[in-house]
Amino acid sequence: MPKIGDVVLYHAFGKTLNALVVGSRVSEVAHLGKNGEPLLHLAFIKQIPPNAPHKRPTVLMAELTTPEIEIQYDVVHVSHEFSDAYKSAKGLYSEAQIVSLRGHGEWEEVPVQVAAPAPELPPSDETETIQ
């Protein structure tokens, strides 16, 4: 489980950002991930908007813009799903109702890449002398 200060991936609106965990909350069971992952409060650098709808941010904009921090509260884990009993009890029938109750975005752990062990070299008959 992520702790305060850990980095996780935040997925929202078709983008994925690195986010810093600034808090967590264990809510009712219906809002936890499949393995009991809590709701997280995440901080990340707000993306630079383009200066016109048809343009992308320019290099100069990226250089001169002061970064702004955005915080999202109670972000669910990617494995989060409401049970059928919960949906029935809350009267959730449409996909839009379910999405609005889940909130904006979702988080997941940063995949850990483990380096493969280096292959062993065959023993050498020659010995080197260092002078």
CA 127 to CA 53: how far, in whole Å? Answer: 68
pLDDT over threshold 70, residue 21: yes
pLDDT over threshold 80, residue 88: yes
- Which residues in the chain belong to E strands, given as ranges? 7-12, 15-25, 39-45, 69-77, 106-109
Q: Place 67 in a pLDDT band, splitting at 50, 70 and 90.
A: confident
> Positive or negative, the Cα torsion across 14, 15, 16, 17?
negative
This prediction's pTM: 0.70
